[in-house]
A and B are shown apart, each in its own frame.
Chain A
Amino acid sequence: MVRTAFLALRSPQEQDPSEMIRGLASREEAHLVLVEDAVYNALDPRRAESLKEVAHEIYVAKDDLAAKGFSEADLKAGRVADYEGIVELIMEETERTVTL
């Protein structure tokens, strides 16, 4: 088992992270980090469901969510994390980082 932090940057219209994650890791291995416009993935009910199917943990960058006028209450998947939490996930809780 290779625990993997998947870093998604792009909006849901530009990219669906689900397919790449499914091809690279099992659900138990996959931790997804949504930053920048990728945070919108966690606000859309249908996309949120598909992400929950492929990643057992979803982090949504708090700064980037707030910059777009949203908060944790708006999330349909995952939970907010600050950049320290994201670094912790990358450095201590997973073995590799893949940028999508």
Chain B
Amino acid sequence: MTKTMTIIWRTGSMMAMDPNVATKLASAAVRKGYKVNMFGYGEGITAVKKGQTPKRFPNVGADLEALAKQGVAIALCETCYTARGFQRGEEIEGAKVGSLTNDLFGFVAESDRLITVAR
């Protein structure tokens, strides 16, 4: 049976490299054949904003979009999302505007390992 990893991130896309560590862990896990879920909340929701152009920095939005295409389930907290003025539809393709209750708890329940990348 395929093992499952869930990664939680809550640091903003430009605050530290935490979201990039989260995507690098997810990519490595996918390459190794694990099932991966990712959940973002707090300032972490900025990482799923569509249309990021960070120029000289890694584009974490593009990395997350690529992971979603590889089958990684990505969800984020709607409360945190709308609290920061985001509207549904402003997120990258493949990211689900969801909730702790419906999405994170489901991810955790099915996971063999849970990793939080936050400070």
Contact = CB atoms under 8 A, between A and B. Distances in A.
Interface of A: 7, 9-10, 35-36, 61, 63-64, 82-84, 86-88, 90-91, 96-97, 99
Given A87-B5, A90-B5, A99-B116, A36 B17 contact: yes
B25 to A, nearest CB: 6
Contact of B29 (A9, A64, A91): A91
Contact of B114 (A82, A87, A88, A97): A97
Contact of B21 (A35, A82, A96): A35
Given A91-B3, A99-B117, A83 B18 contact: no
B32 interface: yes
Contacts of A90: 5, 113, 115
B118 interface: yes
B112 to A, nearest CB: 7
A97 B108 CA distance: 13
B24 interface: yes
A61 B31 CA distance: 17
A99 B118 contact: yes
Contacts, number: 52
Q: How large is the interface on B (under 10, 10 to 19, 20 to 34, 35 or more residues)?
A: 20 to 34
A91 B5 contact: yes
A86 B115 CA distance: 12
Contact of B16 (A36, A61, A82): A36
A7 B29 CA distance: 16
Given A9-B16, A90-B5, A83 B117 contact: no
B31 A84 contact: yes
Q: Which 10 A-B pairs have the closest CB atoms?
A: A83-B28, A84-B28, A87-B28, A99-B116, A83-B24, A87-B29, A36-B17, A97-B115, A35-B21, A90-B113
B13 interface: no
Contact of A36 (B5, B21, B28, B116): B21
B88 interface: no
Contacts of B27: 83
